[in-house]
């Protein structure tokens, strides 16, 4: 990992078109400003990784399991009888 020290209002440029600026430092919290093209996603790492894991988990769902959705919609309450 490349480690650089920056003070408030200073910036780092990544490639040609991604700029990270220290907007504010307060206690142990740093506010970062990120300028990047909209097609480059920028997210908190833990959010990104949680979604990645959830996508992987979803990939393991079997059709028979997914098809049981038919019994449950927002608009209806239905009693399931028999079985």
Partner 1 sequence: MEIYSTRFGPIQIEPSDILRFPEGLVGFADCREWVLLADGLEPALAWMQSLDRPALTLAVVSPRRFVPGYRMRLNRRELAPLKLDGLKGARVLVIVSKSNGSLTLNLKAPLVINLHRRLGRQVITNGDLPLRYEVAGEAHILKMTA
Q: Which residues bind partner 1 (CB under 8 A)?
A: 38-39, 41, 43, 47-61, 63-75, 80, 82-83
- Name the residue nearer to partner 1 (CB basis): 7 or 81: 81
**Least distance between partner 1 and beta carbon 45 (Å):** 12
**Beta carbons within 10 angstroms of residue 45's beta carbon:** 7
- Name the residue nearer to partner 1 (CB basis): 30 or 66: 66
Q: Shortest CA distance to 34 belongs to which of 47, 50, 52, 15?
A: 15
Maximum pairwise Cα distance, the chain: 68
> Bridge partners of 51?
none
CA 66/CA 24 separation, integer angstroms = 46
**Least distance between partner 1 and beta carbon 1 (Å):** 20
- Name the residue nearer to partner 1 (CB basis): 4 or 80: 80
């Amino acid at each position: 990992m490349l480690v650089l020290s920056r003070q408030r209002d200073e910036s780092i440029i990544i490639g040609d078109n991604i700029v990270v600026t220290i907007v504010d430092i307060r206690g142990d919290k740093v506010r970062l400003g990120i300028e990047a093209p909209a097609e480059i996603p920028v997210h908190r790492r833990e959010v990104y990784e949680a979604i990645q894991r959830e996508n992987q988990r979803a990939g393991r769902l079997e059709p028979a399991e997914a098809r049981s959705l038919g019994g449950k919609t927002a608009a209806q309450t239905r009693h399931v009888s028999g079985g």
